[in-house]
């Protein structure tokens, strides 16, 4: 039975979706009884293996038998020939036909509805003219005329079926059958593929030899649908995190990144002295009201005390959104929860001792306009008013006066002077001058000393005098409108605290610089000519400042401080042998400021990489260093920090104790005088009461204040000792 399956014959096959169409046999494996078939669909050739039993169910005629054909004498009767056209004989399989690969032909088909003209034309093409008709015998199937048939071309035919013959037909019968079948098939319309329901699908067929082929297809389809549903739910969840945010995809990716980070932000317990001539820190400001209202995405992550990550949004050519995580390392990194006091403790405070040691200290804030430089240097804003007592200017002045009165530096008999001026373009103005702004000239004398001619130095007695100077000078600064800030500082403001001896000889200088906001050229295309010139002058001076810092760290003999007025004024800060500098890079957290933040960090990183002692470059590090749960390889600096804080508090407590003893000795002397006065018989009681009241009031104010300060330092000292003991126990 299987011998009728040959390569090249057409059979009907059933697809997994119930469709039935024809295919050509390309192979037959007798050992496994599986038939290989191929067909053309959607512009490509497809194939599969079908069990022989399943193929028989779809093509039942493959198991049938052909009736035995008897050779009947040829009749030339036209009527007989017309009757022959009404029935087509089914051809045997190719294995039983001794011709050159004639494919099988369809089952019996009636052609009574064919046009007579068409049948006649086809008949006359193969037969000679017939004689007058003779009496017609009973209708019997007859063989076709012995005419050499055309070699049929293989065509995509459906419904081809054959039955197994009982006896092998003669050659002339086969030829007649082939020719007749060809004529009729050319006149019949092509049958469209049948679509059968699943109910008609045979259930008793054997499965494919491919293990679970159909099951795998169904399983893969189910998995794709499940994944699609999961992605859809995840997408809806991500959109609901911040409804209405057009950048919700970036927000979701950033939060996914942050969920993997082991956050260890900076705290006061990390306070330690940072060695080196350059200190580079970064501060991130919080989101402002405008950014919150416009649903800005925060693209800055601070995982620990000395790392910062910028999530740069990116859209690829196929509109796929992604983020590029760029990591930087600095001495200190402050998040949005840190106040000005903590920033001062880590940045400007370690440089105060340099002032008393006869050196030059410089602190400057760098960043784009609106990133919080003036807020950090001058103090927090309460509406439109600035609290000058809460900035680095005031904090530095308070520490200067504290050390000036301490036992360590009291014997130097130093006096504090302050100056406040600004650099606007190439011009210099005194911010403390009364009336109109006073234009100053910056000149260099024959000894290489730079002097600001006409700059007023105001003598101050305490920090309250300094705060008054800061308030009056800040109101006189140049301000303008930029693309990023409606009221932006357009000048470099320099506040200097100068220590001089009795002969007015310079002992030390502390410069606190609030730099103008850096800008990109792309942001000034819509600005007027004045604003563009301001931006060009600002960027030129900032570039010169960076070059001077490079020379300072490289310990070069000459620094290019003459490239701008800013570096010329700060010349002593770069060339003095006891100079130290601290840079605070200010960045904005919003996605719209991402490029500005990256430029600021690259600028600061350039300064930091030059400050590495061993000459290596401090490149951005791998995020895995702070994204692991157990940071075993990270150096533990807590012990050194605690020991440094203990030593600092120990010195402060000792100074406070000696100051308290001196104050108590003074009041002891005063009260002994009053006691001696009261021991006399005729003393002035009114005078005694007045003096006693005055001494008690001043003693209460001074002594109680000193005791309160000492109590705070002693409590800190005790807690630090306890922390050190706990740390030693853990080790």
Query: Given this model, what pLDDT does residue 640 score?
Result: 55
371 is in an annotated binding site: yes
DSSP characters over 604-653: HHHHHHTT-TTS---PPPPTHHHHSS--TTS---HHHHHHHHHHHHHHHH
State residue 641's pLDDT score.
61
Nearest to 67 by CA among 92, 87, 84, 86: 92
| Cβ-contact 148, 50 below 8 angstroms | no
* pLDDT number for residue 519: 64
pLDDT at 129: 45
**211-215, 513-517, 551-555, 627-631: the lowest-pLDDT one:** 627-631
Average pLDDT value over all residues in the chain: 73
pLDDT digits (tens, 9 = 90+) for 82-111: 444 444 444 445 444 444 444 444 444 443
pLDDT of residue 608: 67
User: Given pLDDT bands bounded at 50, 70 and 90, which one contains residue 343?
Assistant: very high
Among 352, 154, 323, which Cα is nearest to 254's?
323
Report helix angle 594-609 to 529-553, nearest 10.
30
Residue 590 has pLDDT above 80, yes or no: yes
> Is 367 known to sit in a ligand binding site?
yes
Out of 20-29, 87-96, 439-448, 549-558, the most confident range is 20-29
Render pLDDT for 355-398 as a digit per residue (tens, 0 to 9).
Answer: 898 889 999 898 888 888 888 988 887 767 778 888 899 999 99
- Nearest of 458, 491, 416, 452 to residue 572 by alpha carbon: 452
Q: Which residue has tokens 């809460």?
A: 390
For 69, the 3-state DSSP assignment is coil
Q: DSSP characters for 306-329?
A: TEEEEEEEEE-TTS-EEEEEEEEE
Q: What is the pLDDT of residue 512?
A: 92
Long-range contacts, stretch 440-445, CB < 8 angstroms, 24+ apart: 442/565, 442/568, 442/569, 444/568, 444/571
Decide: pTM greater than 0.75. no
* pLDDT bracket for residue 311 (50, 70, 90): very high
pLDDT at 183: 46
- Annotated ligand binding at 386? The verdict is no
C-alpha dihedral (617, 623, 627, 631), degrees to nearest 10 = -20
Number of alpha helices (DSSP H) and beta strands (DSSP E) in the chain: 19, 23
Helices (H), ranges, 433-479: 463-474
What is the domain partition of the chain in residue ranges?
2-200, 248-620, 642-730
- The structure tokens listed for 597 are 């933040």
CA–CA gap between residue 597 and residue 516 (Å, rounded): 15
25 has pLDDT over 50? yes
State yes or no: pLDDT of 615 exceeds 80.
Answer: no
pLDDT greater than 80 at residue 696:
yes
Is 680 annotated to bind a ligand? Reply is no
CA distance 490 to 300: 26
Confidence of residue 406 (pLDDT cuts 50, 70, 90): confident
Residues 100-154: pLDDT tens digits?
444 444 444 443 444 434 443 444 344 444 445 545 444 444 444 444 444 444 4
Domain formed by 248-620, architecture: 3-Layer(aba) Sandwich (3.40)
Per the DSSP assignment, residues forming a β-bridge with 440 are 428
368 annotated binding-site participant: yes
488 marked among binding-site residues:
no
What's the number of CA atoms in the CB half-sphere (13 Å) around residue 311? 23
- 323, 311 Cβ separation under 8 angstroms: yes
- Say what the pLDDT of residue 140 is: 44
Report the run of H or E that residue 334 belongs to, with start and end.
strand 332-334
């Amino acid at each position: 039975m299987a011998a009728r399956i040959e390569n090249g014959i057409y059979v009907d096959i059933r697809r997994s979706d119930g469709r039935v169409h024809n295919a050509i046999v390309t192979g037959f494996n007798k050992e496994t009884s599986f038939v290989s078939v191929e067909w053309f669909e959607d512009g490509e050739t497809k194939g599969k293996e079908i069990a022989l039993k399943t193929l028989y169910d779809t093509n039942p005629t493959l198991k049938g038998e052909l009736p035995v054909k008897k050779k009947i004498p040829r009749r030339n009767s036209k009527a007989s020939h017309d009757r022959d056209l009404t029935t087509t004989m089914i051809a045997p399989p190719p294995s039983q036909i001794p011709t050159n690969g004639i494919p099988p032909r369809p089952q019996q088909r009636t052609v009574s509805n064919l046009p007579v003209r068409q049948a006649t034309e086809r008949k006359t093409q193969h037969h000679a003219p017939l004689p007058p008709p003779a009496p017609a015998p009973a209708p019997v199937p007859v063989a076709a005329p012995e005419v050499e048939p055309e070699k049929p071309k293989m065509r995509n035919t459906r419904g081809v079926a054959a039955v197994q013959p009982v006896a092998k037909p003669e050659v002339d019968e086969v030829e007649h059958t082939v020719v007749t079948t060809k004529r009729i098939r050319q006149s019949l319309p092509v049958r469209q593929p049948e679509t059968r329901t699943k109910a008609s699908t045979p259930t008793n067929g054997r499965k494919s030899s491919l293990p679970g082929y159909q099951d795998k297809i169904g399983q893969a389809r189910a998995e794709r649908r499940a994944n699609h549903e999961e992605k859809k739910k995840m997408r809806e969840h991500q959109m609901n995190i911040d409804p209405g945010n057009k950048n919700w995809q970036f927000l979701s990716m950033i939060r996914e990144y942050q969920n993997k980070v082991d956050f260890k932000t900076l705290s006061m317990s990390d306070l330690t002295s940072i060695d080196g001539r350059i200190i580079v820190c970064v501060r991130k400001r919080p989101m402002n009201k405008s950014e919150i209202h416009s649903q800005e995405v925060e693209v800055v992550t601070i995982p620990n005390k000395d790392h910062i990550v910028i999530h740069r949004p990116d859209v690829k050519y196929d509109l796929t959104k992604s983020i590029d995580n760029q990591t930087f390392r600095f001495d200190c990194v402050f998040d949005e929860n840190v106040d000005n006091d903590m920033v001062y403790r880590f940045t400007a405070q370690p440089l105060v001792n340099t002032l008393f040691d006869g050196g030059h200290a410089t602190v400057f804030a760098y960043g784009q306009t609106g990133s919080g430089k003036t807020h950090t240097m001058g103090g927090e804003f309460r509406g439109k008013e600035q609290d000058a007592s809460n900035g680095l200017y005031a904090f530095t002045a308070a520490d200067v006066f504290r050390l000036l009165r301490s036992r360590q530096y009291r014997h130097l008999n130093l006096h504090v002077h302050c100056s406040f001026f600004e650099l606007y373009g190439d011009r210099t103005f005194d911010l403390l001058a009364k009336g109109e702004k006073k234009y100053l000239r910056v000149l260099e004398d024959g000894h290489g000393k730079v002097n600001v001619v006409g700059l007023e130095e105001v003598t101050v007695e305490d920090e309250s005098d300094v705060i008054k100077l800061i308030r009056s000078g800040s109101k006189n600064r140049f301000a303008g409108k930029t693309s990023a800030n409606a009221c932006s500082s357009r000048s470099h403001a320099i506040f200097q605290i100068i220590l001089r001896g009795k002969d007015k000889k310079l002992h030390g200088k502390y410069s606190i610089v609030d730099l103008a906001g850096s800008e990109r050229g792309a942001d000034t295309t819509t600005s007027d000519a004045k604003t563009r010139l301001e931006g060009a002058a600002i960027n030129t001076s900032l570039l010169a400042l960076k070059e001077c810092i490079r020379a300072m760290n490289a310990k070069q003999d000459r620094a290019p401080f003459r490239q701008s007025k800013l570096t010329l004024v700060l010349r002593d800060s770069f060339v003095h042998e006891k100079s130290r500098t601290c840079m605070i890079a200010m960045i904005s957290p919003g996605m719209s400021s991402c490029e500005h933040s990256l430029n600021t960090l690259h600028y600061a990183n350039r300064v930091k990489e030059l400050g590495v002692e061993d000459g290596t470059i401090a490149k951005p590090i791998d995020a895995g260093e702070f994204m692991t749960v157990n940071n075993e390889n990270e150096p533990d600096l807590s012990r050194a920090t605690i020991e440094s804080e203990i030593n600092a508090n120990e010195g402060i407590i000792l100074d406070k104790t000696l100051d308290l003893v001196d104050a108590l000795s003074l009041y002891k002397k005063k009260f002994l005088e009053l006691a001696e006065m009261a021991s006399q018989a005729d003393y002035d009681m009114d005078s005694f009461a007045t003096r006693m009241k005055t001494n008690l009031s001043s003693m209460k104010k001074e002594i109680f204040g000193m005791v309160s300060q000492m109590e705070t330092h002693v409590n800190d000292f005790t807690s630090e000792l306890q922390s050190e003991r706990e740390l030693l126990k853990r080790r």
